[in-house]
Amino acid sequence: MFHGQKIVVVMPAYNAAKTIEKTYREIPLDLVDEVVVTDDASSDETVEIARRLGLHTLVHQTNRGYGGNQKTCYTEALHLGADVVVMLHPDYQYTPKLLPAIIGLITDGPFDAVLGSRVLGGRALSGGMPLYKYVANRGLTAIQNLLCGAKLSEYHTGYRAFSRPVLESLALLENSDDFVFDNQMLAQILLAGFEIGEISCPAAYFEEASSINFTRSTRYGLGVLLTSLQAFLHRKNWVRSTIFEPTGRRLEPRKPSAT
């Protein structure tokens, strides 16, 4: 418990055998109640290592995609009774050392969600972010801010934390199972009126860190633009989108086990 709230870290994993233990070892376990790993049909030893570490491990028998993996992560975290859920990639691209600050911004306020921004500190390129990704990141973020009526420094980070009410109220099951899930979720949070905070996060790019290729990056970018346009049309009440409707399909966790 941290300030009376249950903290669950979720790690959506895919072929993370080389980095998952290093990532886990830096998690401040005095603040975190549970670490959940959801393996998306990895072909390496990710599951074996996670179980050896004693982590709460779920396994997809077939690959469901990055978004589909997150749906499982958040469903399980809510089932475990989480008050705050932090998504931490097990590829060590984002440092677990920022967890105390990220968690505190939700438990103590004033935010409902917190993002670890690689852009906010101005060190994305020095940390190894490819130039084309940096330019695309800045361009997409500017368009997204304009269409979503926000002022975030980055929409494309994979380091995110959410309060329980955020995860319970969004129509997450309406979202894509692919990478654009992340941006659909942020657009949903903004349109629902939740407060998003940001904290500067060092960028780390190395061989074992996960990354998508140019073709998938292009498809992702087009998906981001479409999501932002849908958000704009929805908030103007010109064209309604199911993912932003309160009647959209939400996560359905089982009731938390008695403790």
- Average pLDDT estimate for 131-147: 93
pLDDT for residue 85 is more than 60: yes
| 257: in domain | no
Backbone angles phi and psi of 36, in degrees to 5: -110, 130
Closest CA to 52 of 82, 17, 7: 17
Burial class (CB in 10 A: 0-12, 13-18, 19+), 33: middle
| 250: in domain | no
* Per-residue confidence (pLDDT) for residue 259, from 0 to 100: 37
| 125: in domain | yes
Residue with the larger pLDDT of the pair 4 and 50? 50
Q: Is there a contact between 245 and 171 (Cβ–Cβ < 8 Å)?
A: yes
pLDDT for residue 98 is more than 60: yes
Identify the sign of the CA torsion 53, 57, 62, 68: negative
Q: What is the pLDDT of residues 119-136, one digit of tens each?
A: 988 878 877 788 888 899
pLDDT for residue 13 is more than 70: yes
CA–CA gap between residue 214 and residue 13 (Å, rounded): 21
SS3 22: helix
* Per-residue confidence (pLDDT) for residue 207, from 0 to 100: 58
Residues 6+ apart with CB under 8 A from 160: 86, 87, 113, 114, 115, 116, 182
* Per-residue confidence (pLDDT) for residue 209, from 0 to 100: 55
Q: Write the DSSP symbol of residue 258.
A: P
Q: Is there a contact between 13 and 46 (Cβ–Cβ < 8 Å)?
A: yes
Residues 6+ apart with CB under 8 A from 165: 112
* Per-residue confidence (pLDDT) for residue 105, from 0 to 100: 97
With bands split at pLDDT 50, 70 and 90, how would you rate the model's confidence at 217?
confident
Domain of 163: which CATH number? 3.90.550.10
Q: What is the pLDDT of residues 22-53, one digit of tens each?
A: 999 999 999 999 999 999 999 999 999 999 99
- Average pLDDT estimate for 107-111: 94
Helix ranges, 80-180 (H): 99-107, 131-148, 164-169
Q: Is there a contact between 172 and 246 (Cβ–Cβ < 8 Å)?
A: no
| 259: in domain | no
Q: What is the pLDDT of residues 202-216, one digit of tens each?
A: 877 655 555 667 788
pLDDT for residue 158 is more than 80: yes
| 59: in domain | yes
pLDDT for residue 256 is more than 60: no
pLDDT for residue 258 is more than 50: no
| 32: in domain | yes
| 184: in domain | yes
Beta strands in the chain (DSSP E): 7-13, 34-39, 56-59, 84-87, 113-117, 160-163, 196-200
* Per-residue confidence (pLDDT) for residue 255, from 0 to 100: 60
Q: Is there a contact between 38 and 13 (Cβ–Cβ < 8 Å)?
A: yes
Which domain does 222 fall in, by range?
A: 7-244
> How many C-beta atoms surround the C-beta of residue 209 within 10 A?
17
* Per-residue confidence (pLDDT) for residue 206, from 0 to 100: 59
Count of domains forming the chain = 1
pLDDT for residue 150 is more than 90: yes
Strands 160-163, 113-117: pairing is antiparallel
| 252: in domain | no
